[in-house]
Structure 1
């Protein structure tokens, strides 16, 4: 198989790829294929590796508030997460297989890293504009570097991922890693620039990183959500093709299976994710989202 993608709306990025190596986009695949480094999916171990106060449920936090979450959850990493503000709340929400950790503050960032034998070779950082109850208005793929994340997390990678070659996705708050994934974020690879997919394939085939990233630009991944309590049909392909021709728009994803019942989809409480428009011009991406919204709600 080439790039192993579970979501059909993202296959558009990888159709030209011809390779005999397995390149994961799903945590379940990465966990199977990289046994020497699969420990990074243990969020308790990741916290302890950064000298954060943390422990499994059943041990006593030294102070409150703390953040509680599953230790390992490969599907829906944050399901069941919550802030615990007192010993009484800790007792109320005790759950086997969960952990507590220092409640972190600061900027929440998702970072993709190309790693060669434990050495970071390329970074890209993304922040989201929340829209409430787990939904987002858009994600911003930043062109600038983040020296704090690249410095602190780069040291962590060198210390803990010796021998690993491949993509790594890190979620951080205030520069501390809260989740690590042995894969890249497959929602916006078209925003990383021409030739990035080819560099990705070379990384897994040849074990090196060769990508000309001097002409990077800010990108945006604009999201459309609808109510959770109804079913939806896909827009006509003619509408998608028309939006894809808009200058500054790089791709459109219709992010659900129309032949599935709505409850089969994993969605945030605040809405049902219908579509994503990737673009280099935020205003045009938002206008394109409005065009798709008209189809669904008029």
Structure 2
């Protein structure tokens, strides 16, 4: 399947796509980095911060004021690994790591934006705002049906300037409208919530360099995440439980988001928990009921 998805729980979104064998579409940052040498610099989070005029530096240069946010300069595994807020010089000294950086602790809405680019020019946007959980986790994401004009104006200008020559999907994470991360791929957590025809347009973008999806009938969806405590080895739920959840009104899909045969410490997870499942849905209350059913299994 040329839509290069390594997570088995997300293959469900692409397994029926008619993607030619010569067209390779990344869903992982490692593939996107290898296949886009002219634009891979965007994975340098320090460069992304400083090109926006933000006060940022690598560890080794102490912040002049606090609080600041500390994270790896490069992190192709994601999931907030190694990130934390530093409130004082004592925190900074304790958190010092080679290859890490600090930047302002931004305030405002945390939004993940997928954008279809043709020669760096935005042709379509999809926005999802994250509702924070504990210690680097997200309780759920609201996948919006409408536009985000402020982001599309500022981040769109950034793309036209910095991603000229690039055709494909990009994912921009912003807080308060400032870009904190750039990925040369889309968010493969919720493509089912973008609507029928979206994946077909994705293939055409990489095959022909044009975007055809209008998405006029889009509606707001939700991607609800289940985290469990670290330190345990979890087992996948039985198939009939997953099918029961998928059959609930308002539910679009279920992902069981870990490898049962791989030790927990080899999974990239945030400090606040071990992600075991995601429920994509059109009804937030229904998804929370579905999450509770899944939690009972994992708690046992």
TM bin, normalised by shorter chain, reads over 0.9
Corresponding residue for residue 252 of structure 1: 254
Larger deviation: 288-297 or 142-151? 288-297
Larger deviation: 49-58 or 85-94? 85-94
Kindly tell me the number of residue pairs found equivalent between the two proteins.
298
What secondary structure does 1:132 align onto? Answer: coil
Deviations 1:4-47 (A, max 9, x none): 11110000001012322111011111000000000000111111
Q: 2:53 aligns with which of 48, 51, 54?
A: 51
Question: 5 Å matches for 1:111-122?
Answer: 111-122=113-124
What secondary structure does 2:235 align onto? Answer: coil
Corresponding residue for residue 2 of structure 2: 2
How far has the Cα of 1:112 moved from its partner? 0.7
User: Are positions 1:174 and 2:176 aligned together?
Assistant: yes
Larger deviation: 248-257 or 29-38? 248-257
Q: What is the alpha-carbon root mean square deviation over aligned residues? A: 1.7
Deviations 1:160-209 (A, max 9, x none): 10011011001111111010000001110000011111111111111110
User: Are positions 1:240 and 2:242 aligned together?
Assistant: yes
Q: Give the Cα–Cα distance (whole angstroms) in 1 for the partners of residues 148 and 104 of structure 2.
A: 23
Question: 5 Å matches for 1:1-298?
Answer: 1-17=1-17, 18-20=19-21, 21-76=23-78, 78-298=80-300
Larger deviation: 49-58 or 154-163? 49-58
Label 1:228 to 1:102 Cα distance change in 2 as closer, same or farther (>3 A): closer
How far has the Cα of 1:121 moved from its partner? 0.8
How far has the Cα of 1:94 moved from its partner? 2.8
Q: Give the Cα–Cα distance (whole angstroms) in 1 for the partners of residues 280 and 216 of structure 2.
A: 21
Larger deviation: 284-293 or 15-24? 284-293
Deviations 1:72-127 (A, max 9, x none): 12123632223333444434433221222223211111111111111011111111
Label 1:192 to 1:31 Cα distance change in 2 as closer, same or farther (>3 A): same
Query: What is the TM-score when the length of structure 2 is the normalising length?
Result: 0.93
Label 1:91 to 1:137 Cα distance change in 2 as closer, same or farther (>3 A): closer
Larger deviation: 65-74 or 143-152? 65-74
Q: Give the Cα–Cα distance (whole angstroms) in 2 for the partners of residues 297 and 80 of structure 1.
A: 26
- Structure 2 contact 81–271 (Cα < 8 Å) conserved: no
Label 1:261 to 1:80 Cα distance change in 2 as closer, same or farther (>3 A): closer
Q: Give the Cα–Cα distance (whole angstroms) in 2 for the partners of residues 62 and 291 of structure 1.
A: 48
What secondary structure does 1:101 align onto? Answer: strand
What secondary structure does 1:158 align onto? Answer: helix
* Structure 1: gaps of 5 or more residues: none
Deviations 1:253-296 (A, max 9, x none): 11111222222222222222221111111111122222222333
Larger deviation: 156-165 or 250-259? 250-259
Q: Give the Cα–Cα distance (whole angstroms) in 2 for the partners of residues 285 and 86 of structure 1.
A: 39
Q: Give the Cα–Cα distance (whole angstroms) in 2 for the partners of residues 59 and 285 of structure 1.
A: 45
Larger deviation: 92-101 or 171-180? 92-101
How far has the Cα of 1:60 moved from its partner? 4.6
Q: Give the Cα–Cα distance (whole angstroms) in 2 for the partners of residues 85 and 296 of structure 1.
A: 35
Query: What is the TM-score when the length of structure 1 is the normalising length?
Result: 0.94
Q: Give the Cα–Cα distance (whole angstroms) in 2 for the partners of residues 290 and 60 of structure 1.
A: 44
Q: Give the Cα–Cα distance (whole angstroms) in 2 for the partners of residues 151 and 297 of structure 1.
A: 45
